[in-house]
Amino acid sequence: MKTQTMLELIFPGALFPKEETVEVNSRDFDSARIPDGAFAFQFYDLITQSATCEDGTIIEHERVENRSVKYFPNAQLFDLSQIESMGDEFRILASNMRSNDWPQVIRTRRGNFQPFEAGKTELVVLK
């Protein structure tokens, strides 16, 4: 059995975010290299188990464990009243917040907005 610590980087995409995964030595996000283009990241452990069949075929099974919260570097947290006060340009976001019962959203360092999920997301300041 082999365990690797992985860093999943999340970038803006056309319709859905793009993800890139790299292996890292630790879960220390201050020493991890988070590209400026990534608006969020999270860590997880990739567990690989191998077995050899009688005919010599090697079978590998991978599973993900210990997924961290999703970190949003250098982002800002806004509640509905703040979004509403930002003007007509943000009315669709405010409507989405009401419809989806999002009490808060995150404006990422790339300028896009993401729902804030207590216990699943965390804002961090990178050095």
Q: pLDDT tens, 13-58?
A: 888 899 999 999 999 877 778 999 999 999 999 999 988 898 989 8
Alpha-helix residue ranges (DSSP H) falling in 10-111: 80-84, 91-100
The C-alpha atoms of residue 38 and residue 9 are separated, in whole angstroms, by 6
Q: Which residues are paired to 61 by β-bridges?
A: 49
Residues 6+ apart with CB under 8 A from 113: 93, 105, 106, 107
Please, which pLDDT band fits residue 113 given cuts at 50, 70 and 90? Answer: very high
SS3 category, 60: strand
Query: Domain-by-domain residue ranges, the chain?
Result: 2-72, 75-120
In the predicted model, is pLDDT for residue 127 greater than 70? no
In the predicted model, is pLDDT for residue 3 greater than 80? yes
Q: Which two tokens stand for residue 125?
A: 């300041």
Burial label for 90, CB within 10 Å (0-12, 13-18, 19+), is middle
Chain segment 67-100, per-residue pLDDT in tens: 999 999 999 999 999 999 999 999 999 999 999 9
Q: Distances from the Cα of 119 to the Cαs of 8, 14, 98, in angstroms? A: 18, 27, 20
